[in-house]
Amino acid sequence: MNAIIESAMQRAQTTAMPQPGPVTVRLLRDDAVDRARWDAFVQACPQATFFHRAGWQRVIEGAFGHRTWFYLAEQDGVIRGVLPLAQIKSRLFGHSLIALPFCVYGGVAADSDAARGQLDDAALALARSLGVGHLEYRNYSPAHPGEPAWQGKDLYVTFRKAIVADDEANLNAIPRKQRAMVRKGIKCGLAGEVDDNVERFFTAYAHSVHRLGTPVFPKKYFALLKEVFGPDCEVRVIVREREIVAGVLSFFFRDEVLPYYGGGMPVAREVAGNDFMYWNLMQAAAARGCRVFDFGRSKRGTGAFDFKKNWGFEAQPLPYEYHLIKAESIPDVNPLNPKYQLFIRVWQKMPLALANALGPYIVKDLG
């Protein structure tokens, strides 16, 4: 009899419990409350990154003029997933829908399969309606393993490493040869300074990318990053007395620091300016409570890849995914493509002032 009563009570409780509602997808609204809810989800979701933050919508639209669609999935009034997307439509570099251009990580961040599926469907429907060549997810971890419709390529890796609160332990974790370069910068009297604007940083950055033969981002882009992300976007400049040596713009997210844009003046090679710069940032970040140093994305076979390996960081493949819509193959827009080598050599010989003037018109479509 007791078993019958207990079973009846369980059925009654199950019947009384409200069933979860359907997952619905909509666009992020342009108001402070909706953006705050979006960012609160991003802060809490393990799959989300700094590049899922709502502020990127303002940055991409304001700095480059690209159209964006920031989708969120809700269930019973609770955000269950987000997917920031932006369109790049270029005669030179093709037509694409990306999550998210100018960012190294992206794709869907969700806490349920239902939300993830609904966001995928919304992205594919949008990609087809726009007639893009491809839809691209810049995943940090595989999102559609074994699904042939989503293709990948083994080009990009990221470098991440744990750091601790002790400077000496962090320094000793750097391989000997690289540690010697850091000590060289210290002996040369280099020091780090944090700026509230991007002026000095931009000088070092523009000189550096010009030497590499890469178009420069507009200064307003960096200023907008600093304005939108506030204290989570730091501008650090390395100086020798009053001389600019190098500069780095970094993002802070949870307990991570991400040095994202950096560059050095010609003198940086003589005084190990770039080596000291990253060490100086690591020190400051560890003191701030960061426990992960994210050295960011690099392409295999590049100097940046080798530089980061020399710091003792292990390469972690980035499983970017491409869903072809109108394109017949995965795009290959990167400096390692042989067809861009002549452009790079010409750009390196161009006067710096001219390169700084023309660069923003090209780089906005590279994404």
Q: From first to last of the 367 residues of the chain, give the pLDDT tens digit.
A: 455 445 544 554 444 567 889 999 999 999 999 999 999 999 999 999 999 999 999 999 999 999 999 999 999 999 999 999 999 998 777 899 999 999 999 999 999 999 999 999 999 999 999 999 999 999 998 899 989 999 998 889 999 999 999 999 999 999 999 999 999 999 999 999 999 999 999 999 999 887 877 788 999 999 999 999 999 999 999 999 999 999 999 999 999 999 999 999 999 999 999 999 999 999 999 999 999 999 999 988 888 899 999 999 999 999 999 999 998 888 776 655 565 566 566 656 667 677 666 666 567 767 7
Q: Which helix (H) or strand (E) holds 156?
A: strand 156-162
Cα angle 55-137-317, degrees, rounded to a multiple of 5: 110
- What local confidence, expressed as pLDDT, does residue 13 receive? 47
How many CB atoms lie under 10 A from the CB of residue 80? 23
Residues 6+ apart with CB under 8 A from 338: none
Residue of 230, 251, 1 whose CA lies nearest to 103? 251
Count each helix (H run) and each strand (E run) in the chain, helices first: 13, 14
- What local confidence, expressed as pLDDT, does residue 288 receive? 96
**82, 226, 247, 182 alpha-carbon torsion, rounded to 10°:** -60
